[in-house]
Amino acid sequence: MSLACLIHGALDLRLEQETPRALGANDVLLRLGAGGICGSDLHYYKEGRVGAFVVREPLVPGHEASGVVVALGDAVTRVAIGQKVAINPSHACGRCSYCREGRGNLCRQMFFLGSASVFPHAQGMFRERFVMGEAQLTPITEPGISLGEIACAEPLSIGLHALHRAGPVLGETVLVTGGGTIGCMSVMAARLAGAAQVIVCDINDRALEMARTVGADRTIRSDQASAAELADLAEVSIEAAGSPAALATCLTATRRGGRIVQVGTLPAEVAFPANSVMARELDYRGAFRAHLEFDWAVQAIRSRRVDVRPLISAQLPLADSKQAFELALDRTRSTKVQLVAD
C-alpha cells in the first residue's frame, strides 16, 4: 500500500492508502522524490476547481515532481533501479494536428497529470509510489543535483515556454509581473535568452527579494508606483501573476509595438482595454504549459545553468500535506513548497 494525497472538493484534502497499478512492459514504478505545490494545485484545494476544470471525483494533485526508480517493466531500457528521474507530466497523443505541427502542449487529447481537465481525472503524483511510462522519464546521473531541484523542471519549462512565445529578447528589456515561482522562472528564462535587463513588479516584498536573488536587475512595488513610473518600461512583458492589476501594469509598461505574454490564469471575467492593444500595436500572446521546453529545463538544471535552489522554501512529508498546502498559500512565508516521501 502507498499513501496518497487526494482532493475531494474545496478545502477537502484527505490522505488515503492506495495500491499502485501493475507494471506494464514499458512502465516504471517510482518513489516520490519531491513534488512541488503549484498554483493550480492551490486552486483545486481552495476552490475545488481551476477555471473550467472542476473536481468531479477525488483528485490526486501534483504535476511537478521527481522520483526514484523502484521497479521496471520487462521492456524498459531508459532508466535503472535506484536512479533519480525527472518526470514530464504532459502526455500528448502525438497524432493530432497540433502534435504534428510541433505544438504538443495544445494537443487535442492531452493527458496532463494532476488535472481535472478530463474525466476520469488525470491523477497526479502526490503519492508515495506511482507508475509512469518510461517515455515520460529523464534519468539524472549528476550526483550533486537534488530531487528538489529536479522537481523544478516543470515550472522552469513554463518560464522557458513564455520566453519562447515572446520571441527573440536578446538585448531587450523584459518586465515580469509576479515574483512567485513562475515569475522567477521567467526571470531565469529571460536571462538565458539574453535579455539586457529584467524588471519584476509585485506587491509583496518577499517576492521581490526572491526575484532579485534569481537575477532580476530591478524590482518595483507596483501598488506603490505611479502610472508615469511604469510607463514604457519594456519591449516585452510577461504576465505571471494571474491578476487583473498585473495585466493592467503590463499594458501600461509595454512600449509601443511590444509584446505581452500571458502566463498567469486570470479570473473568468476581466475588463480588457482592447483599444490600447490596437492603438499601440501591441502583440498579445498566450503561453499554455510547455512542450520541448521541459527537456530544455531538465538540461538547464542538471548543468546548473540556472540555480533553482533559492526558490525551494520548504519540504514537508506527504503525511503533512494539509500543512504544506496552507504554507504554500502564504506568500509572505514561501515561494515553492514541496512534498517528499516519508
- CATH code (residue 26): 3.90.180.10
Structural domain includes residue 229: yes
pLDDT at 339 over 80: yes
- Asked whether residue 223 is assigned to any structural domain, the reply reads yes
Q: Compute the half-sphere exposure of residue 122: CA atoms within 13 Å on the CB side of its CA.
A: 19
Clarify whether residues 280 and 224 are in a common domain. Answer: yes
Residue 298 inside a domain? The answer is: no
Pick the range with the lowest mean pLDDT from 34-43, 47-56, 165-174, 214-223.
Answer: 47-56
- Which of left, alpha, beta for 211 (phi over 0: left; psi -120 to 50: alpha)? alpha
Least confident range of 36-50, 99-113, 258-272, 276-290: 258-272
- Which helix (DSSP H) or strand (DSSP E) does residue 151 occupy? none
Going by pLDDT thresholds of 50, 70 and 90, the confidence category of residue 342 is: confident
In angstroms, the CA 227 to CA 232 distance is 10
Q: Domain holding 279: CATH number?
A: 3.40.50.720
Is pLDDT of 336 > 90?
yes
Local structure of residue 107 (DSSP, 8 states): -
Predicted TM-score (pTM) of this structure:
0.96
- 295 lies in some domain: no
* Mean pLDDT calculated for residue range 26-46: 97
Which backbone phi and psi does 221 adopt, to 5 degrees?
-75, 100
* Span 115-142, average pLDDT: 96
Among residues of the chain, what percentage have pLDDT more than 70?
Answer: 100
Q: Are residues 70 and 199 in the same domain?
A: no
What residues contact 286, with CB distance under 8 A and at least 6 apart? Answer: 165, 261, 262
As a whole number, the mean pLDDT across the chain is 96
Same domain, 44 and 179: no
- Dig out the grid coordinates for 51 from the structure: 477555471
Domains: count for the chain: 2
Residue 176's DSSP bridge partners are: 200, 238
> Helix H segments across the chain?
39-47, 97-100, 147-150, 153-166, 181-192, 205-213, 227-230, 244-253, 274-279, 293-302, 321-329
Contact between 40 and 81 under an 8 Å Cβ cutoff? The reply is: no
pLDDT for position 51:
80
pLDDT (average), residues 4-11: 97
67 part of a folded domain: yes
Give residue for cell 497526479.
124
Range from 6-10, 239-243, 272-276, 327-331 carrying the lowest mean pLDDT: 272-276
Using pLDDT thresholds of 50, 70 and 90, give the confidence band for residue 268: confident
How much is the pLDDT for 183?
98
> Are 125 and 174 members of one domain?
no
Q: For the segment 165-200, what is each residue's pLDDT rounded down to a tens digit?
A: 999 999 999 999 999 999 999 999 999 999 999 999
Mean pLDDT value across residues 156-171: 98
Query: Do both 24 and 143 map to the same domain?
Result: yes
In this predicted model, which residue has the larger pLDDT, 258 or 273?
258
pLDDT the model gives residue 271: 85
The pLDDT of residue 21: 93
pLDDT at residue 52 greater than cutoff 90: no
What is the Cα–Cα distance from 43 to 104, expressed in whole angstroms? 25
Average pLDDT over every residue of 255-268: 93
> Distance between CA 105 and CA 292 in Å, rounded?
9
Residues 146 and 188 in one domain: no
Among 63, 68, 67, residue whose Cα is nearest residue 53 = 63
Q: Which three cell numbers stand for residue 277?
A: 492593444
Same domain, 148 and 6: yes
167 in the same domain as 248 = yes
Clarify whether residues 142 and 241 are in a common domain: no
In this structure, is residue 124 part of a structural domain? yes
Domain assignment present for residue 296? The answer is no
What is the rounded CA–CA span in Å between residue 99 and residue 198?
A: 32
CA-based nearest residue to 196, from 213, 173, 212: 173
E strand spans, the chain: 2-9, 12-18, 27-36, 49-50, 53-54, 64-72, 84-87, 90-91, 111-112, 129-133, 137-140, 173-177, 197-202, 218-221, 234-239, 254-262, 283-286, 312-317, 336-340
> Is residue 217 a part of any domain in this protein?
yes
What angle in degrees, to the nearest 10, is found between the helix axes of 153-166 and 293-302? 120
Instruction: Note the pLDDT of residue 224.
Output: 96
Indicate whether 36 and 147 sit together in one domain.
yes
Sign of the C-alpha dihedral, residues 127, 133, 137, 139?
positive
- Domain co-membership, 130 together with 196: no
Q: What is the pLDDT of residues 96-122, one digit of tens each?
A: 999 999 999 999 999 999 999 999 999
The answer to whether 253 and 237 have CB atoms below 8 angstroms apart is yes
| Same domain flag for 317 and 278 | no
C-alpha 203: how far from chain center = 21
Gap between the Cα atoms of 64 and 149, Å rounded: 11
Residue 198 domain boundaries: 158-286
| Nearest of 164, 188, 59 to residue 105 by alpha carbon | 164
195 vs 233: CA distance, rounded Å: 13
